A and B are shown apart, each in its own frame.
Chain A
Amino acid sequence: VSHPLDLGLAAQAAAIAAGEVDPGEILDAALARIDERNPALNAIVATFPERSREMLDAAAPGPLRGVPVVIKDEWPLPWRAQRFGAAELTVSTAPGESAPYRALRDAGAVIVGVGNMHELGAGSTGNTSYYGAARNPWDTERCPGGSSSGSAASVAARLVAGAVGADGLGSVRFPAAYCGLTGLKPTFGRSAMEGHHMAPITTMIVSGPLCADAADCRLLGSVLFGEELTEGDPTGLRIGVVRDTVSEDVTPAVAEACEGAIETLRAETGGELREVALPDLEAATLAGILIINAESMSGTRPEQLNRLDPELSPIARGTLKYRMLLPAAATVKAASVRALMRQRLAALFADVDVIAWPTIPAPAPPLEAPLVELPSGTLAADQANVRGAALANLTGIPSISLPVGLSDGLPVALQLQAAWGNDELLLDAAEALERANGRRWVESRPPLAEAEPTEV
């Protein structure tokens, strides 16, 4: 018999609903496992057992009744303001009921902890945080991915089976990829965002689920979307393959795993591969960076930057100041690039159902030196990772990251992107791939999270 925390999100919910497992015991087990495993990971930065028990006592009879989950340090809770992984934000925050919190509460879920994150959401590695770096359960000397670092690490380590992250330039997909999880970046506007300090102004950031597999992402995604993400049939899937830096400047192991997965998906769905052109991806990446920068700095006054909290990392301090210097003309140009890429994608999605390329060009780098060795040379992981992620945020389309292999014991991931509103198709395709490979990769788990027999 499996330990209940080693079950997936849907299986935990089903076991509770069937009366096979006491939700109070699952909550106790989750808190105990956090005590046991989190010191090596720093994935969870706050627990609040009394609040969690209150949530359980009041749990609605929803699809996640009694199931423990984690939420990223990016939204307020009624008893805690978000810190955004930083000593200081340049906007004020306060405890409150955010939309993701309400969605989880109304589904009957029990929030057991707040997930660590890359400081200010400004990194793909998770190696910098007010709380200290989160660590990758597959190798605790390596980056867990960011910015939703703790959300991913907590699921990969089976502290919980589902966590809420946020994705403004890949921040759900990178940690999903580094930690061997499935992570969905929804179509812009479909998932709960209210309460996030950027919600009123962002055109880039979305909340999204991080879980072991696509079925659990469908369940947690349905909660965050406030609507059921129904299953469909991906038969005849037309898969667009782009021959560009995003698919070619990757390690040989990443290329091999992703190409194999794409072919497996094609065969499983009886579909076809179509080589497609998507020019100006580098410009699209920079356009995404410029737009999210303009949105995030729009309320910042120069004098605020002269009295930053000394505990803010030197990198954040310097970067925040530099961001004030980026020319407005470039941001206006970025809007043109955004329009161009949206038009190109709209045309492209008439010919293909999904676009596929690696989520990350190389597996998780060391925490102490987050560099990756690629065919083009040595790059900062942030610089290399964002190239494959920014398009979805820039244009609003949904995207999903799926585990498709291991390279030297570290997860490798494939990214699928679809047209606006086709989040369900991405989940259908992900499930098709899981079926085809015998769920080999979604059921792989790091050594520290090997399944244990139940005592609950």
Chain B
Amino acid sequence: LRHRILSFAALGRAPPEWVHDRSQVGLPAEMEGAASADQFVPAGLAALGIEADETDLAVMGAVHQLIWPPLLELLALDTEGVEVERRPDMSRAPE
């Protein structure tokens, strides 16, 4: 698993310096990485057979940090009673 995912390590060289520059992925410098990405992302990639190097993982960690907290909030949103449209016609108001 580690060999497939961390190809920079496998190649015996460090990832490029800019990987650690968060402005490259549009994040403020003071934001910290999301710990859960370290477990969730490699496991998910391995399950799907998707390879990733350290650059990919750095980008995914940043994206995960942005999207995961609101995603958990979304999952916690109470939508019971909301009638989901079966085949919504997005060009019109709901019936």
Residues of A within 8 A of B (CB): 125, 187-190, 203, 280, 282-283, 286-287, 289-290, 302-303, 305-306, 314-315, 317-319, 321-322, 324-327, 329-330, 333-340, 342-343, 345-346, 349, 368-371, 377-383, 395-396, 419-421
Contact = CB atoms under 8 A, between A and B. Distances in A.
Contacts of A340: 79, 82
Given A318-B57, A378-B28, A337 B77 contact: yes
Nearest to A379: B28
B74 A325 contact: no
B11 interface: no
Nearest to B49: A302
B92 A421 contact: yes
A420 B56 contact: no
A282 B93 contact: no
A289 B77 CA distance: 16
A325 B56 contact: no
Max count, chain A CB within 10 A of own CB: residue among B19, B51, B93: B93
A378 B29 CA distance: 9
B88 interface: yes
Interface residues of B, number: 45
Given A203-B88, A289-B67, A325-B45, A333 B79 contact: yes
Given A333-B75, A342-B93, A371-B23, A286 B67 contact: yes
Contacts of B88: 203, 338-339, 342, 396
Contacts of B56: 314, 317-318, 321
Interface of B: 19, 23-28, 30, 40-41, 44-45, 48-52, 55-60, 63-64, 66-67, 70-71, 73-75, 77, 79, 82-85, 88-94
Given A325-B45, A342-B94, A345-B93, 6 more contacts: A203-B88, A280-B77, A319-B60, A333-B75, A340-B82, A420-B93
Contacts, number: 143
B74 A334 contact: yes
Pairs A-B, 8 closest by C-beta atoms: A318-B59, A396-B90, A380-B26, A189-B91, A336-B79, A188-B90, A325-B44, A322-B60
A334 B41 CA distance: 22
Contact of A336 (B40, B64, B73, B84): B84
Contact of B74 (A314, A321, A333, A420): A333
Given A188-B90, A339-B88, A342-B85, A302 B28 contact: no
B85 A321 contact: no
B58 A318 contact: yes
Contacts of A287: 74
Contacts of A319: 59-60, 63
B63 A286 contact: no
10 contacts: A125-B26, A188-B90, A189-B91, A283-B74, A289-B67, A290-B71, A306-B50, A315-B24, A318-B58, A380-B66
B8 to A, nearest CB: 12
A381 B26 CA distance: 7
Contacts of B41: 322, 325
A371 B88 CA distance: 36
A403 to B, nearest CB: 25
A298 to B, nearest CB: 15
Chain B CB within 10 Å — which of A340, A368, A377 has the most?
A340
A339 B82 contact: yes
Contact of A321 (B25, B52, B79): B52
B71 A187 contact: no
A339 B26 contact: no
A282 to B, nearest CB: 6
A339 B85 contact: yes
Nearest to A186: B91
Contacts of A371: 23, 26, 28
Contacts of A324: 44, 48, 50
Contacts of A334: 74
Nearest to A303: B49
